[in-house]
Amino acid sequence: VNIEHSRAIRLASTVTGLDEPTLRDRQERALIFVSLDPALAGTPLAARTLLCTLRRLPGRLALRSTGLPGGLVEEIVAATLAIDPTRPLALDLGEAEATVRIHLGLEDRAGAIRIVPDGFGAQVAGDPEVELDLGRPGNALGAIFAAALAAAEAFKYVVVDNPDRRTLHRHLSFCPLTLTDDTTAAPGLWITRESIDAAIVGNGAIGTAIALILAELRLGGRLILCDHERYGPENRGTYSLGGELEARMNPLKVELVGKVLRAAGYSTIGLAEKSTAMIERIDAGEIPAPPILLTGLDSVEARRETQMLFPDHIFDAATGDTALGLHHAVPAGPCLRCFFTQSAGGPDPLVRLAEETGLPVGRLRRGDEALSEQDLSGLSAAQRELLNEFLGKPVCGLADALGLTSASVDDYRPSVPFVSQLAACLAVGRLLAVRAGLAPETNLFQFDALHGPRGGGEIRGPEPDCYCQQRRSIVENLRLKRGLSS
Ligand SMILES: [Zn+2]
């Protein structure tokens, strides 16, 4: 089975404007050489994550194994082979002629780009003159954040020659908890005492990256996993978990993610269904309501449906091409429905629904109100016929019932795993920041993976017309019934 690289190459083509055969050739011929200082906290995990991520992309890889513990080299070789057994990692070859050299360590190594996990964050030094000082020992989030930044650096050097589309960092420092360049602000030790009660909704490119980070953090606790799909061959090139075996065996995504999380000490509940079904199960008392959702969803509609759980927090990680972001939603607003008022890309489903049914968009927005005779007055005979059977039912079900639900665009969107990993780091970072009382006020934070994060972000308020504002008492009652109210 050949690994599915078409999306990485399509993304490269979007970024550079070059044709796909030229880029395929450029990526396949490139050699990325990775070395590390194994004594530095977090670098073994960063190296394994980086090489596994790069193994999902086209190109040749080498690791400097001299001076590394034998067990670590074996572990990394096995992990990359599990992803793609046809392209083994070279050991100690090609450092001189490498296209890019990445060193996971503080000391300059013949001009290689240096990247180090630093607390929950990481530092990048593209300039050999920069003296790197570590703020805190790197933990698992810092290690995976460092690996994702390192993969982005490699991608920039191999693929992107347009200076407008990339920033080559002389020195970058960033912490995904505080969203600042200060990697010392978040204390480290408290996470060992934490345990988690949450759900990961969407176990795709972002959800598997969230699961990878949580598995390595080993917080303990309970995780509900919700995704109705199976792992397919095309997922191997863009996800953070799964390899050649899963591409062949097609397990449910919740099975794959559950196995990894249970091995890391979590208890899991896997639901191979949509979030609407998860909410029904919660309301039926079959499963407990998770107070926290980590979401990695690819459509506005899925986000709006998932919001209806109204948990204490939703940490929503989002990606589009090389851009990524975090939305932090709370029941009092802004909720995910405030952040995502309508469909991004393609016609707004409500506009399509209005065209199809003849009902005004303003009426369709009041989705909870039942369709009445009065609504049908003034419609054509054909439109009345279409809508007759929905009389007395809330209009929010119309889109599904009429087959107008916007299809998932995930299969067509070009993506690479490091973009999803950076988004996942923001979501898990915000989860930890909230637990530690360190969360900044910003509830919307975005950056481009090829330019890197900068401090700041936005503070969004609730949308006055949103369900969370117009139906406050319903939201509170739902939360109370689900045992979510404080
Ligand atoms: Zn809202």
| HSE of 25, CA atoms in CB hemisphere, 13 A | 5
Ligand 1: centre distance to CA 367 (Å): 14
Q: Is-contact 27 7, C-beta < 8 A?
A: no
The pLDDT of residue 317 is 97
Q: How does DSSP assign 221-239, residue by residue?
A: EEEEEE--PBP-GGGTTT-
- pLDDT value, residue 382: 80
Q: In which order are the strands placed within the sheet that holds 100-104?
A: 90-91, 60-63, 31-36, 100-104, 113-118, 121-125, 171-174
What distance in Å separates the CA atoms of residue 373 and residue 370, rounded to the nearest whole number? 10
pLDDT in tens, the chain (486 residues): 467 788 888 888 888 888 888 888 999 999 999 999 999 999 999 999 999 999 999 999 999 999 999 999 999 999 999 999 999 999 999 899 999 999 999 999 989 999 999 999 999 999 999 999 999 999 999 999 999 999 999 999 999 888 888 999 999 999 999 999 999 888 776 665 678 999 999 999 999 999 999 999 999 999 999 999 999 998 999 999 999 999 999 999 999 999 999 999 999 999 999 999 999 999 999 999 999 999 999 889 999 999 999 999 999 999 988 999 999 999 999 999 999 986 544 556 677 778 778 888 788 877 778 899 889 988 888 888 888 888 888 787 777 666 554 433 333 456 799 999 999 999 999 999 999 889 999 999 999 999 999 878 999 999 999 999 999 999 999 999 999 976
Going from the Cα of 312 to the center of ligand 1, the distance in angstroms, rounded, reads: 13
**Structure letter (DSSP) for residue 287:** S
How many angstroms does the Cα of residue 253 sit away from the middle of ligand 1? 29
Q: What is the pLDDT of residue 396?
A: 75
Contact, 113 vs 21, CB < 8 A? no
DSSP letter string, 50-83: HHHHHHTSSSEEEE--TTS-HHHHHHHHHHHHHH
Ligand 1 centre from 462 Cα, in Å?
6
The region that residue 85 occupies, defined by phi over 0 for left and psi between -120 and 50 for alpha, beta otherwise, is: alpha
- C-alpha of residue 11 to centroid of ligand 1, in Å: 33
Distance 390 CA to ligand 1 centre (A): 26
Residue 394 CA to ligand 1 center (angstroms) comes to: 19
Q: Cβ–Cβ contacts within 10 Å for residue 462, how many?
A: 17
Q: How far is the CA of 229 from the centre of ligand 1 (A)?
A: 28
The C-alpha atoms of residue 239 and residue 92 are separated, in whole angstroms, by 27
Amino acid at 85: P
Per 3-state DSSP, the chain is made up of helix, strand and coil in percentages (nearest 5) of 40, 15, 40
**What pLDDT was estimated at residue 368?**
73
- Give the three-state DSSP class for 179: coil
Query: Are the C-beta atoms of residues 277 and 271 closer than 8 Å to each other?
Result: yes
**Amino acid at the residue 349:** P
φ/ψ of 131, rounded to 5, equals: -90, 120
Does the pTM surpass 0.75? The reply is yes
How high is the pLDDT of residue 408? 35
pLDDT at 221: 96
Is the preceding peptide bond at 334 cis, omega within 30 degrees of 0?
yes
333 CA from centroid of ligand 1 (Å): 5
Residue corresponding to tokens 């504002």: 469
| Separation of CA 41 and ligand 1 centre (Å) | 41
**What's residue 409's pLDDT?**
36
pLDDT of residue 2: 61
Distances (CA, A) of 178 to 186, 294, 299, 457: 7, 18, 27, 11
How far does residue 338's CA lie from ligand 1's centre (Å)? 4
Nearest to 293 by CA among 268, 328, 338: 328
Q: Residue 281 corresponds to which amino acid?
A: R
